[in-house]
């Protein structure tokens, strides 16, 4: 009978230790889970912040691209104006080059000349 009581007591102690170990592991698992949840929440906040930064940068890139396109168009217009002015200058030089002395005097001075060209 003493052996049976001793076996029951030892069994109860062993069972109690098993329950204690299982509960300790559950507690550790819960703490790890809380830490992981906290880490996930922090990463989500950082992710949201980065997403917002990316959206801001995307809109700035679009704005800068629009400005660059506008400037490109302005450069093209300016180049066309420059080419027209070059053509006008070339035509004026060509016209002046073919003038005689009296015509040159009249052209540059604004006075009419009645002499003959040399």
Place 93 in a pLDDT band, splitting at 50, 70 and 90: confident
Give the mean pLDDT of the chain: 88
For residue 37, being part of any structural domain is answered with yes
Q: For residues 86 and 80, is the Cβ–Cβ distance under 8 A?
A: no
Distance (Å) of CA 87 to CA 29, 73, 79, 80, 107: 85, 21, 12, 11, 20
Which tokens belong to 23? 């509960």
pTM of the model: 0.52
Query: Between these two residues, 42 and 27, which has the higher pLDDT value?
Result: 42
Q: Give domain status of residue 93, yes or no.
A: yes
- Does residue 117 lie within any of the structural domains? no
The residue-averaged pLDDT of 88-97 equals 88
Contacts 24+ apart (CB under 8 A), 83-86: none
114 has a pLDDT exceeding 80: no
**Whole-number pLDDT of residue 6:** 83
In a domain, 29, yes or no: yes
Average pLDDT over residues 64-72: 96
The total of structural domains in the chain comes to 1
- In this structure, is residue 38 part of a structural domain? yes
C-alpha distance from residue 19 to each of 9, 51, 80 (Å): 15, 47, 90
Report yes or no on 116 lying in a domain: no
Does residue 118 sit within a domain? no
Quick check: 115 pLDDT over 60?
Answer: no
**Residue 51, domain extent:** 2-109
Dihedral over alpha carbons 51, 57, 60, 66 (to 10 degrees): -90
Does 115 reside within a domain? no
State residue 99's pLDDT score: 83
Give pLDDT, residue 12: 87
pLDDT confidence band for 60 (50 / 70 / 90): very high
């Amino acid at each position: 009978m003493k052996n049976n009581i001793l076996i029951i007591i030892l069994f109860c102690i062993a069972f109690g230790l098993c329950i204690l170990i299982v509960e300790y592991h559950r507690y550790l698992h819960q703490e790890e889970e809380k830490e992981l949840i906290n880490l996930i929440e922090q990463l989500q906040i950082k992710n949201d912040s980065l997403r917002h930064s990316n959206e801001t940068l995307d809109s700035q890139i679009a704005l800068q691209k629009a400005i660059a396109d506008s400037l490109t168009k302005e450069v093209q217009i300016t180049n066309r104006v420059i080419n027209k002015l070059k053509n006008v200058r070339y035509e004026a030089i060509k016209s002046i080059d073919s003038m005689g002395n009296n015509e040159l005097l009249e052209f540059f001075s604004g006075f009419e000349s009645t002499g003959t060209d040399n």
